[in-house]
Amino acid sequence: MFGREKNLKQIKKALNIFEAKIVYMNEQIPDIFLDISKKIQGDVGKMFYAANKQMQIEFAGEAWEKAIDNSGLMLLEDDKEALKSLSKMLGNTDVDGQISQLKLVNIFIDQQIKDAIDKRNKNEKMYKKLGVIVGLAVVIVLI
């Protein structure tokens, strides 16, 4: 699985955990982010951990944006902007507002995952064809 596709799937999983904890557990955002950082491996988990730490000195929205910018995740700018849109609601809206925004971002991420899979499949086909052509060229040169 390519980096962007894997990152998007992990982010989707993390956002689903976030949504469930907001709805059913009524936990504080920094605590939720810390829990997510323990459950999600790799750079996505590190991004949530960094946001948690940054929330100790800044508002949740600002901390979230900085964590995204400094994450080093293989994401397109559109992916990052969709994730940053969550910063406007973190700690500023009621539960319903946060859930609505999470659902919108999840829909966008679903589409981005589909797009990443399509690009991967297209590139795999291209590289297979290129490999066959190069192989034939080597055979022709050797004959």
Residue 126 lies in a domain: no
Count of the separate structural domains present in the chain: 1
Predicted confidence at residue 139, as pLDDT, reads: 85
pLDDT tens per residue across span 21-50: 988 887 888 999 999 999 998 999 999 999
137 lies in some domain:
no
Domain extent at residue 37: 3-116
Residue 136 within a domain: no
Q: Is residue 134 part of a domain?
A: no
Within a domain: 123: no
Tell me whether residue 130 is in a domain.
no
In-domain check, residue 39: yes
Per residue in 50-82, pLDDT tens? Answer: 999 999 999 988 999 999 999 889 888 999 988
Q: What is the DSSP code string of 97-132?
A: HHHHHHHHHHHHHHHHHHHHHHHHHHHHHHHHHHHH
Q: By 3-state DSSP, what share of the chain in percent is helix, strand and coil, each rounded to 5?
A: 80, 0, 20
Share of the chain above pLDDT 70, in %: 98
Q: How confident is the model at residue 2 (pLDDT cuts 50, 70, 90)?
A: low
d(CA 124, CA 121): 5
